[in-house]
A = this chain, B = another copy of it.
Amino acid sequence: MGTVGLDPPSGTRDVLADEVERRERAFSAVRATFARYGYEPLETPAFERLEMLTGKYGDEGEKLIFKILRRGEHEATGEADLALRYDLTVPLARVASRFWGRLPNPYKRYAIGPVWRADRPGRGRFREFYQCDLDQVGSSSPLADAEVVAAVGDALTALGLSGWTFLVNSRRLLAELGTEYGVPAELWGGVLISIDKLDKLDPGAVTAEITARGLDAGTAGKLVDDLSADDAVDRVRARLSASEDGRAALDEVDTLLGLVGPVLPAGGAAFTPRMVRGLDYYSGVIWEVAMPGMTGSIASGGRYDGLLARLGGPEVPACGGSVGIERILSFTEGTGEAGGRLDVAVAVIDRGLAAESFALAAAARQAGLRAGTYLGTSGKIAKQLKWADEQGARWCVVYGRSEHEAGTATVREMATGDQVTLPLGDVPEYLAARIGEGG
């Protein structure tokens, strides 16, 4: 087996200690934030029945599903009956449907866990990656949308991010916009796909794309001109204010902005008429979070009232959001505060006294310290002090032949080299009394 044979599968990672701990701190921050809003955790299996996932993610998404071969006598068929979960939303919808009536209403849940997509691996793109999702099922109140936005905002702050903005829009408003600009209904879906590119392409290119879709050049030009203008918001407001449906659509967005504006940092949310979320299950307000100088979003979400029913569940309203935790982790730095693994490194100089050294480490742990004995083969103190140093230990404790005869142990402060000799039984208490203090 060569070196490649020891690598994890393509698109996956072995996560060593410092990175596990950095990621775990981030997840804890998100978890604590969501819990403070009264959301409860949910864990679902890594795989679902294949038919639960098919037909949910579009043609392109469907190709990325990892399928699990049938087992036993059925393995030879080459057929799959299970699949690794592709997101945390479909499992939520399944569980909320399964237990509907027995869950709190609204059911407010968060989920943090890996999902799997057989995407082409690339820089920062993995086949196994974590999602942090927050959703509520059961409420149609704008307070529910606002709560999700506020919770995601708090989570971003807890992750150490600032300067972000929630770009807010609504599906209903977009539909009204199409009507107001006189875009034929059958062209609007395609036009939206083109409008979604306004943050990457220049307006002329987007106009050309829309015209190619069959919209007349005048309407296409006016639409793109208005949406890409600095005063796009004013132009769109003026257009929509002309009709009652348009005003109702604006009101939906304004209600959300009115609720979250006072609780987010200044500039934390802005009506963004050109913002179109790709997923087709959204039904109400939609949002994504932009960071200055970055393309793409670091969080996104919206209202999706029809999704549960589409999965065979009850007709209930729902909304939620997802924090792009892998993206955030990829550009936030490690704190470098990984620190050591042990507080107390107990040397084993004399094999005949190993049991006493072992018991000394146990007593130190009992006193609340992280402690372990040297497990190597060298009896040399220099080598063992090097090990203690590598462990980041604050102290190295030596119980050798002379200490044994005197009934003492020697405690060495690693940073200074200062040593004290204490009665053996006093060592744990001595260390415990000092562990709270600085080096």
Chain B residues, CB < 8 A from A68: 66-69, 84
Whether A9 touches B69, Cβ cut-off 8 Å, given contacts A42-B15, A141-B375, is no
Question: Does B42 lie within 8 Å of A17, measured CB to CB?
Answer: yes
Copies in the complex: 2
Cross-chain contact of A38 among B44, B128, B139, B372 (Cβ < 8 A): B372
Question: Does B372 lie within 8 Å of A37, measured CB to CB?
Answer: yes
Question: Does B14 lie within 8 Å of A365, measured CB to CB?
Answer: no
Q: Considering only CB atoms, which chain B residue lies closest to A363 in the complex?
A: B263
Asked whether any CB of chain B lies closer than 8 Å to the CB of A78, the reply is yes
Chain B nearest CB, measured from A434 CB (Å): 17
Question: Does A43 lie within 8 Å of B20, measured CB to CB?
Answer: yes
Chain B residues, CB < 8 A from A98: 3, 6-7, 14
Asked whether any CB of chain B lies closer than 8 Å to the CB of A8, the reply is yes
Asked whether any CB of chain B lies closer than 8 Å to the CB of A312, the reply is yes
Whether A259 touches B358, Cβ cut-off 8 Å, given contacts A14-B98, A97-B6, A375-B144, is yes
Please, how many angstroms separate the alpha-carbon atoms of A42 and B141 in the complex? 43
Chain B nearest CB, measured from A164 CB (Å): 17
- Type the 1/0 row for A19-59, where 1 means its CB is closer than 8 Å to any CB of B: 01100100000000001111111111111110110000000
Asked whether any CB of chain B lies closer than 8 Å to the CB of A373, the reply is yes
Chain B residues, CB < 8 A from A20: 40-43
Asked whether any CB of chain B lies closer than 8 Å to the CB of A382, the reply is no
- Type the 1/0 row for A250-263, where 1 means its CB is closer than 8 Å to any CB of B: 00000000110011
- Type the 1/0 row for A47-89, where 1 means its CB is closer than 8 Å to any CB of B: 1110110000000000100111101100111111010100000
Whether A71 touches B262, Cβ cut-off 8 Å, given contacts A3-B98, A136-B375, A376-B141, is no
Question: Does B391 lie within 8 Å of A38, measured CB to CB?
Answer: yes
Chain B nearest CB, measured from A343 CB (Å): 9
Say what secondary structure dominates the interface of chain A.
Answer: mixed
Question: Does B390 lie within 8 Å of A104, measured CB to CB?
Answer: yes
Q: Considering only CB atoms, which chain B residue lies closest to A364 in the complex?
A: B36
Chain B residues, CB < 8 A from A78: 69, 76-79
Chain B residues, CB < 8 A from A38: 341-342, 370-372, 391
Question: Does B311 lie within 8 Å of A46, measured CB to CB?
Answer: no
Asked whether any CB of chain B lies closer than 8 Å to the CB of A362, the reply is yes
Q: Considering only CB atoms, which chain B residue lies closest to A111 in the complex?
A: B20
Please, how many angstroms separate the alpha-carbon atoms of A76 and B76 in the complex? 12
Chain B residues, CB < 8 A from A76: 78
Question: Does A17 lie within 8 Å of B355, measured CB to CB?
Answer: no
Asked whether any CB of chain B lies closer than 8 Å to the CB of A101, the reply is no
Question: Does A66 lie within 8 Å of B77, measured CB to CB?
Answer: no
Chain B residues, CB < 8 A from A311: 1
Please, how many angstroms separate the alpha-carbon atoms of A226 and B307 in the complex? 67
Whether A376 touches B69, Cβ cut-off 8 Å, given contacts A94-B6, A355-B259, is no
Q: Which among A146-154, A174-182, A399-407, A413-421 touches the partner chain?
A: A146-154
Whether A9 touches B42, Cβ cut-off 8 Å, given contacts A141-B377, A146-B358, A377-B141, is no
Q: A9-B48, A66-B82 are in contact. List 20 more A-B contacts (CB 8 A).
A: A1-B311, A6-B97, A7-B98, A13-B45, A14-B43, A14-B44, A20-B43, A24-B41, A35-B341, A35-B370, A37-B370, A46-B114, A67-B68, A67-B71, A78-B79, A105-B376, A143-B373, A147-B358, A150-B362, A262-B355
Task: Report, nearest first, the 6 A-B pairs whose CB atoms are least far apart.
Answer: A78-B78, A1-B312, A17-B40, A12-B45, A139-B375, A6-B98
Pairs across A and B, CB under 8 Å, 22 listed: A5-B51, A6-B312, A8-B44, A9-B45, A9-B49, A9-B82, A16-B40, A21-B41, A24-B41, A36-B370, A37-B365, A37-B371, A38-B372, A45-B128, A46-B114, A46-B116, A66-B71, A67-B68, A69-B78, A72-B118, A140-B377, A150-B362
